[in-house]
Amino acid sequence: MYIRKINVTILFLILLSFNACIEESDYVGDFTFTNQSGLNLKITGTQLNEPINILNNQSYTLKVSGIGGYGFPFPDNKTDSAILNFSDKKQLIYHGRNENEVNNICIIKNYKRININKHYQKYEYTVSKEDYERAK
């Protein structure tokens, strides 16, 4: 019994020390998507575990953490596409690094950036009526 308590204590201390190694800089930030398209919206992407559903004139915030750079809206920067599905079945498809696509959701410069501190930023992206008008 005494050895079991020691093992549990050692395991706890090991886990605590691993947690202490996680720096604040590992946290990337929040990505807020606001839908001002005039229709309900579903966003899908190659790195999303599940679609993001946003009612018209509503917002959705996705908390992202990780180490290193970031893209839409993931720290590994590997998203190669995102699809905006509007409630009338029209779609707007964005392709990863194509900076020629207007308001491409996959390109970080199309987000409004708010620096909270050197380790934490907020990013805001708005889907507009103009985005909907480009949908097919």
Q: Is residue 9 part of a domain?
A: no
Output the 3-class SS for 38-64: CCCEEEEECCCCCCEEECCCCEEEEEE
- Which pTM was predicted? 0.71
Between CA 131 and CA 126 the distance in angstroms is 9
**What's the whole-number mean pLDDT along residues 74-94?**
79
Between CA 133 and CA 30 the distance in angstroms is 27
Q: Is residue 5 part of a domain?
A: no
Q: What is the dihedral of CA 76, 80, 84, 90, to 10 degrees?
A: -170
Number of domains in the chain: 1
Q: Is residue 34 part of a domain?
A: yes
- Which range marks the domain in which residue 86 is found? 24-134
Q: Kindly report, residue by residue over 45-65, the tens digit of the pLDDT.
A: 877 778 999 999 999 998 877
Q: Is residue 2 part of a domain?
A: no
Q: Is residue 62 part of a domain?
A: yes
